[in-house]
Amino acid sequence: MPAMDAARPSLPDPAFWAGRRVLVTGHTGFKGAWLSLWLAELGATVTGFSDGVPTTPSLHALARLDELVDGRTGDVRDAVRVAEAVAQARPEVVLHLAAQPMVRRSFAEPVATYATNIMGTVHVLDAIRRAPGDVRVVIVVTSDKCYDNREWPWGYREDEPLGGHDPYSSSKGAAEIVTAAYRASYFDAGDAPAVATARAGNVIGGGDWGADRLLPDVFRAALAGTPIAVRNPDAIRPWQHVLNPLSGYLRLAERAWEDRAAARAFNFGPADEDARAVGWIVERVGELWDGDLRWEVDPGPHPHEAHWLKLDSSLARAQLGWRPAWDLADGLAAAVDWFRAHRDGDDARSVTRAQIAAFCAGPFGA
C-alpha cells in the first residue's frame, strides 16, 4: 500500500490509520466489507457491528472477514446493544453504515426502514454523546437520495433542501437532519467528537449481492445464463466504484480529525459524464462479460424512483482534495473482473485486496 501521495490526495494515509481503533457499523454489508478489508490493510484495529450478514453469498463470508474484524452482532434499533458495542470497542473513529438500504424494500417495510435508518443513527450518536470515551471522529453514511429531488439536470449541492419521495430516501434525509442536530446540540465544543455525514451515489463493485440492485441483478443473470429484466432503462444514475466513496469517507475522517471545522456534510459523487442510463450500463457490462448476457425491459408496474439524480462534489474536491480515483470505465471493468474471478473460483479476499492495491496505484488495468 503506497504512502499518501500529494498528487493523489484521495487516498487514505496509512500513517493515520495504522493502529487506529475503528468501529464500522454495517461491516457485513457490501460497502462495509470493502471498508473493513481496506481498514485492515491499512493496519487499523477494526470492530464491526451488524445484525448478521445481509446476503448469501456475501463478500464478508467469502473473504473470511471475521478473521480480520472483531465482529459484534446486534441491532442498531437496540440502544442498549449499540451503547455496549461502542463501550467495548473504545473506538477513536466511528463509521456508521448500518442501514436498511433498499428503496423497494422500504416501500414494503417503512416502519423497519425508518426505525433502522433514523433511530439507528440516533442510537449511535447518543451512545457517543453519553460516553464519548476516545471517539474523536464520527462519519454517518447517508445517500445521494437524501435530497429533495427536483428531477433537474444539475448536480445537488450540500446546502440544497433535503427530502425524499420514498421511505428509504426520506429516512436518509432524516438521518442527515438528526446528525446535524446532534452536532449542533452536543458535539459543538472543541473537545467533542467531530461529526460529519457522507452522501454518495449508486455504488458498484465486486461482492454486491443486494436484492433489486442493477449490477447484482446483472451478474446473477450472467452467472446463471438467464436474461435480465431491467426496470427503468432510461433512468440516469451517478455510478461509481465502491472504492471511490470509501476513499472519500476515509479522507473525510482524516481531515475531521485534524480540523473539526471540516466536519459537515459532503457529497462524494462521480464525474458528470459518469452519470449514465441504466440501459447503457447493462450494454457496457455485456460487452465486458465473456459470456452471454441478454436483457429485456421489465414493464412494471414499479414503485416511484427518481429519474434524474446527480451530485456536485466540488466541496469534497476543494476541502478534502478528494476526487474519484476510478472513473466509470475503470469501475465497471473492476466489477466485471471481480465477478469473473468469483465465477472461476478465485479467492475473494485476494481478489479484493488486489483491487484495493490497484485502486491505490492508479487507473484500473494501467
Interface with ligand NAD (CB under 6 A): 26-32, 50-52, 54, 75-77, 97-101, 116, 120, 141, 143, 200, 202-203, 210
Other Cβ atoms within 10 Å of 273 Cβ, number: 8
Min dist CB 292 to ligand NAD, Å, is: 26
Choose between 193 and 238: whose C-beta lies nearer to ligand NAD: 238
Min dist CB 260 to ligand NAD, Å, is: 23
Query: For the chain, what percentages of helix, strand and coil (3-state, to nearest 5) are there?
Result: 45, 15, 40
Min dist CB 233 to ligand NAD, Å, is: 18
Choose between 101 and 193: whose C-beta lies nearer to ligand NAD: 101
Min dist CB 203 to ligand NAD, Å, is: 4
Choose between 12 and 29: whose C-beta lies nearer to ligand NAD: 29
**One-character DSSP codes across 273-322:** GGEEEHHHHHHHHHHHSSS---EEE---------S---B--HHHHHHH--
Choose between 53 and 135: whose C-beta lies nearer to ligand NAD: 53
The residue of the chain with the least Cβ separation from ligand NAD equals 29
φ and ψ at 284, to 5 degrees? -65, -40
Burial class (CB in 10 A: 0-12, 13-18, 19+), 361: middle
Integer-rounded Cα Rg, in Å, for the chain is: 19
Choose between 96 and 183: whose C-beta lies nearer to ligand NAD: 96
The answer to whether the CB of 155 falls within 8 A of the CB of 110 is: no
Min dist CB 329 to ligand NAD, Å, is: 18
